[in-house]
Chains A and B, each alone.
Chain A
Amino acid sequence: MRLLVLVGAAVVCAVATALVHPRAPVLAWREPGVISLEEARALTDAVWVDAREAREFAAGTLPGALLLNETAWSELAPNFLTAWSPERSVVVFCGSDACPAARRVRERLQREFGIKACVLAGGLEEWGR
């Protein structure tokens, strides 16, 4: 019984955290801003952004993808901004869902340039299936 009380108290605190914590993730079944491979392929004229490190990008990426990562943001961002235009969607990807780089690049694009990008669910792993 007391165990249930402890769990209940934790649930209440977790809900409060979801509501007020500045670093709380969005409570949803499906992650906002993440699209499936089919949805990404349906976007015509999208800018594909590889958020991995340069050496991984050099080893192989999606056709036409641009390199943009946090490590060399100031050097790579101008190249991305030249290719991008407001009518073009942006799809950011990484090696897999386990890699946080794509989400970080998406957040930074929104924060610094006001660009609403999407993250490819599953990343390159999904593409390769």
Chain B
Amino acid sequence: MTPGRVLARICVFAPAGLLAYAGVLKLSDPSGLLDALRTYRIFPYGVMVSVALLVPWLEIAAGVAVLSRTWRPAGAALAALLLSGFLLGIAQAWARGLLVNCGCFGTGVTASQVDYALLVGRNVLLLASLGVWWRFDGPGKARQSAP
């Protein structure tokens, strides 16, 4: 395996692994995650409960799927969708000046100040990392090398 390919693999394993880790932490306390979701003030209770129960499993599914070569594109796509969703949630909270409990790695406490730039930057970086894999080692590469 070339160094470039190793780097490309890291670009998919790192974000997916981080999501799976976050999913396991969230799964330990779905009610705590629900409390964190309340601070974003987007959804009514019924939707928030579904999100609190579903998101940890989606994160774990994305993390596990990228381990298999066959399932890797689907896992990476799911990871990208999740990260995009998180990015939108954080961005709307930032735009509205809300004080949120990130809930990114399970429960937490509402901070007196939220470092939105850091949260947005982290998610953008993870999305870019998935993009690098897609372009150089994923379906994007196959499409490019096709005649």
Contact pattern, A 1-38, Cβ under 8 Å of B = 1, otherwise 0: 01101110111011101100101111111110010000
Contact pattern, B 37-69, Cβ under 8 Å of A = 1, otherwise 0: 011010011100110111011101110010000
The distance in angstroms between the C-alpha atoms of A103 and B50, with both chains bound, is 19
A21 touches B30 (CB 8 A): yes
Count how many chain A residues have C-beta atoms less than 8 Å from C-beta atoms of the other chain: 28
Nearest residue, chain B, Cβ from A3:
B74
Contact pattern, B 14-49, Cβ under 8 Å of A = 1, otherwise 0: 000000000000011111101100110100111001
B73 touches A100 (CB 8 A): no
A9 touches B35 (CB 8 A): no
Q: Do A97 and B41 form a contact, CB below 8 Å, given A10-B58, A17-B30?
A: yes
Q: How large is the interface on B (under 10, 10 to 19, 20 to 34, 35 or more residues)?
A: 35 or more
B31 touches A25 (CB 8 A): yes
The distance in angstroms between the C-alpha atoms of A11 and B60, with both chains bound, is 12
Is A98 in contact with chain B by the CB < 8 A criterion? yes
The distance in angstroms between the C-alpha atoms of A11 and B53, with both chains bound, is 9
Please, which residues of chain B bring their CB within 8 A of the CB of A10? 54, 57-58, 60-61
B62 touches A27 (CB 8 A): no
Q: Do A23 and B53 form a contact, CB below 8 Å, given A6-B61, A98-B110?
A: no
Please list the residues of chain B having a beta carbon within 8 angstroms of any beta carbon in chain A. 27-32, 34-35, 38-39, 41, 44-46, 49-50, 52-54, 56-58, 60-62, 65, 70-71, 73-75, 77-78, 98-100, 110
27 example contacts (A-B, Cβ-Cβ < 8 A) are as follows A3-B74, A3-B77, A6-B62, A6-B65, A6-B74, A7-B61, A9-B61, A10-B57, A10-B60, A10-B61, A11-B57, A14-B50, A14-B54, A17-B27, A21-B27, A21-B30, A24-B30, A24-B31, A25-B31, A27-B50, A27-B53, A30-B46, A34-B45, A98-B39, A98-B41, A98-B98, A100-B35
10 closest Cβ pairs, A-B complex: A2-B74, A29-B46, A10-B57, A14-B53, A31-B45, A100-B35, A13-B57, A98-B39, A14-B54, A6-B61
Other than A6-B65, A14-B50, give 6 A-B pairs with Cβ distance below 8 A.
Answer: A6-B71, A23-B28, A23-B30, A24-B53, A25-B30, A25-B53
